Amino acid sequence: MQTDMKTPLLPSSDPDPSEPSGPGAPVISIMGSGDFSRSLSTRLVACGFRVVVGSREPRRVARGLFPAGVELLTQREAAERAEKVVFTAVYPEHYHTLVGLRGPLEGKVLVDVSNATGLNRGGQANAERLAELFPQSRVVKGFNTVSAWALQAGAHDGSRQVLICSDCSDSRSTVLQLARRLGFSPVDLGGLCASRDIEEAPLILFPSWGGPILTTFLLFLFFYGYLFLRNILLPYLDEGTNNFYELPLVTVNQTLPAVSLVTLALVYLPGLLAAVFQLGRGTKYKRFPDWLDRWLCRRKELGLMSFLCAVLHAVYSMCLTLRRAAGYNLLNAAYRQVRAGVENSWSEQMVWRSDLYLSCGILGFGVLTLLAITSLPSVGNALNWREFTFVQSGLGYAALTLSIMHALFFGWDFAFFPGAYPYYLPPVYLLALILPCIVLLGRTFLALPCLMFRLTKIRRGWESPRHRPPINQEPPEEDPPLHPGDV
């Protein structure tokens, strides 16, 4: 392991490799001539650094792939030309080919950019292995979370974080400054023991999306299976009716709004549970259960999954040409009956139901779209806390209310007729409305002045008497006052 040294790696007169200065800029070497090396050299040259690329066989490397000004040399020549910083852009299994360069690399900063080959594989991290092979060098882990495309995106693209760690604080500081000069946002993670987490970071697939995606998928399976049983399988077994053609389009379109509605309710249910915990405990200084903490941290992902299902539902609805054609035929038949003088042929009630159903659906989808847009970091960062809370909470409940009304107007009064319960199974929209209605009623109940006032006090630091120290308990002894001579 490397330790901090009191003496600097180079004399104070030597140039700082993080400070480009035109023709006199420090030389940075890159071991390796692959895609990452080409992209990194492009970024370094664009930021004013001089770059030397070391290859085992420089004659076989096409010089046109590298920007003008980059020198292609052997690995030994590149190691000798480097003034302080050397990037090791080679695979870990080829580290042994660099062992012969211990002399030229002595005292220099080796930046390891490799990634792990798998998650939770155990053993040494690549950077720790490199540190053992080069004990006289200063190994820094970094830049492995940045793709070759991000390196070529532009010299002033600061939208990507660079995770950096090292046992040598001076070397770590040098690489941190270099990352800033390249237009990235460096994050100091401390010693080299964090290198395994950094190496595995690019291999993790959506770490915060696993639960929301699994929840949405299970809800889809439940509602799709319920509709298949109720509308297709049982009628086929009982009456021989063949409705299997509805599986790819109609059944999916009936499943998506139910999943979207329930998922949207799951976004706001943990907030109600948190309020109930705080009201019951009379304090905000007790931690929530772990499952509730994790649920609260996944509300954004659940909301985006609800928005995805709503978008798919809108697209599927527009693609249902058969349903739309049937609607046009119904309207044409009504017009023909009106022209023929048939009385009471136009059902004003059904017109109101259809218009309200569509209007609430469109408005709910619009508000849900606004919620999805404000969840983007670039948009959310432009809002202050009160604006963000109003959008995500106030408009969120408005979207939930409009979605519930959309489902209620769709069902209208059909739920009160026995024909709506074939095989004693209720319509799917009734099942989808259970949890959203519970959430909306719970939010209305918490809006009562007596509960809202108490909850506001608790969240501002007030605690119920059972959490306060006894009155007869002696206060802790205060520290004696400091005198000017004590400082």
* φ/ψ (deg, to 5) at 409: -70, -30
Q: Give the pLDDT score at 481.
A: 45
- Residue 479's pLDDT band (boundaries 50, 70, 90)? very low
- Residue recorded with tokens 């909850």: 455
CA distance 286 to 22: 57
| Model confidence at 453: pLDDT above 80 | yes
Residue 28 pLDDT grade (very low, low, confident, very high; cuts 50, 70, 90)? very high
Ranking 305-314, 331-340, 443-452 by mean pLDDT, the lowest is 331-340
**Which of 11-20, 181-190, 362-371 is the least confident region?**
11-20
Query: Could you tell me which residue, 62 or 298, shows the higher pLDDT?
Result: 298
- Confidence label for 487 from pLDDT (cuts 50, 70 and 90): very low
- Percentage of the chain with pLDDT > 70? 84
Average pLDDT over residues 379-389: 87
Q: Is the pTM of this model over 0.85?
A: no
Q: Which pLDDT score is estimated for 119?
A: 81
Section 100-105 average pLDDT: 94
Angstrom CA distances, 361 to 9, 356, 415, stand at: 66, 8, 19
DSSP for 130-149, written as a single string: HHHH-TTSEEEE-STTS-HH
Structure token digits, residue 42: 């492009």
Output the pLDDT for position 292.
Answer: 95
Q: Is the pLDDT of residue 63 over 90?
A: no
- Read off the pLDDT of each residue in 312-320 and give the average, rounded to a whole number: 88
At 148, list the tokens. 């070759």
Residue 473 scores a pLDDT above 60: no
pLDDT higher than 50, residue 16: yes
When mean pLDDT is compared across 147-156, 422-431, 442-451, the lowest value belongs to 147-156
Average pLDDT over residues 366-385: 89
Are 284 and 459 a contacting pair, CB within 8 Å? yes
Mean pLDDT rounded to a whole number for the chain? 85
- Cα distance between residue 297 and residue 4, in whole Å: 38
Mark out the alpha helices in 69-124 (DSSP H runs).
75-81, 102-105
Kindly list the strands in the beta sheet with 27-31, ordered across the sheet, starting from the edge strand earlier in the chain: 71-74, 50-55, 27-31, 85-88, 109-112, 138-141, 161-166, 185-188
The band of 22, judged by pLDDT with boundaries at 50, 70 and 90, is low
Q: Is the pLDDT of residue 323 over 80?
A: no
* Lowest-pLDDT range of 26-40, 209-223, 250-264: 26-40
Return the pLDDT at 239. 92
Most confident stretch, 195-209, 259-273, 381-395: 259-273
The confidence band for 376, taking pLDDT boundaries of 50, 70 and 90, is confident
pLDDT at 20: 55
Across residues 407-422, what is the average pLDDT? 90
- pLDDT at residue 4 greater than cutoff 60: no
**Mean per-residue pLDDT, 331-356:** 63
On the question of pLDDT at 10 being above 70, the answer is no
Q: How confident is the model at residue 300 (pLDDT cuts 50, 70, 90)?
A: very high
CATH class of this structure's domain 27-203? alpha beta
- How would residue 159 be classed by pLDDT, with cut points 50, 70 and 90? low
Could you give the C-alpha distances from 352 to 63, 192, 286, 362, 409, in angstroms and in order? 72, 67, 50, 15, 9
Q: Could you give the CA distance from residue 74 to residue 86 in angstroms, rounded to a whole number? A: 14
DSSP structure string for 266-316: HHHHHHHHHHHHHHHHT-S-SPPPHHHHHHHHTHHHHHHHHHHHHHHHHHH
Q: 124 or 327: whose pLDDT is higher?
A: 124
Q: What pLDDT score was predicted for residue 9?
A: 38
Radius of gyration, CA atoms only, the chain: 32
- Residue 126 is predicted with a pLDDT of 93
- Work out the average pLDDT over 292-297: 94
Taking each helix axis as running N to C, give the angle between helix 252-281 and helix 299-319, from 0 to 180 degrees, rounded to the nearest 10. 160
455-467 pLDDT, tens digit each: 999 988 888 887 6
Q: Output the furthest CA–CA distance in the chain (Å, rounded).
A: 106
Note the pLDDT of residue 335. Answer: 54
Q: What's the pLDDT score for residue 486?
A: 37
DSSP assigned state of 158: -
